[in-house]
Amino acid sequence: MIRILLAEDDEAMRTYLTRALEQAGYCVVAVASGAEALPMIKTEIYDLLLSDIVMPEMDGIELAQRCNELSPSTKVMFITGFAAVALRANREAPHAKMLSKPFHLKDLVMEVERMFEDVAAASL
């Protein structure tokens, strides 16, 4: 089962995303900040880091950079409602996928599925 670490500071959005991804068959661990997510990356293996970019303490870009150092095989997808922040993320984490708010849950699930198509094909 694909394991996702979700870092999202908005509680309602975190609950909403967690529920949608779990219903799609993913194992989701959700935290409220990058600072909360970092120790988990150090001790657990996740297939995907799904992170808001704008968060207090440690933003999603810094979290993704640290994740890349600690767990280079973990894929990264950002979610953001800020276009200027998205441009910065593309520069500083060029291998990450980007999903702009607002988005439909089906779009999120479809993007996650796309990221792991190669894994699904390899297991056939």
Q: Could you report the per-residue pLDDT of 36-48, keeping only the tens digit for each?
A: 999 999 999 999 9
- C-alpha span between 124 and 69 (Å, rounded): 30
Model confidence over 50-96: pLDDT tens digits?
999 889 889 998 999 999 999 999 999 998 876 656 566 566 666 78
Q: Are 31 and 57 in contact (CB under 8 A)?
A: no
* Structure token digits, residue 37: 């997510």
Specify the DSSP class assigned to residue 80: E
What is the model's pTM? 0.88
Mean pLDDT of 116-123: 64
- Residue 68: in which H helix or E strand, if any? helix 60-70
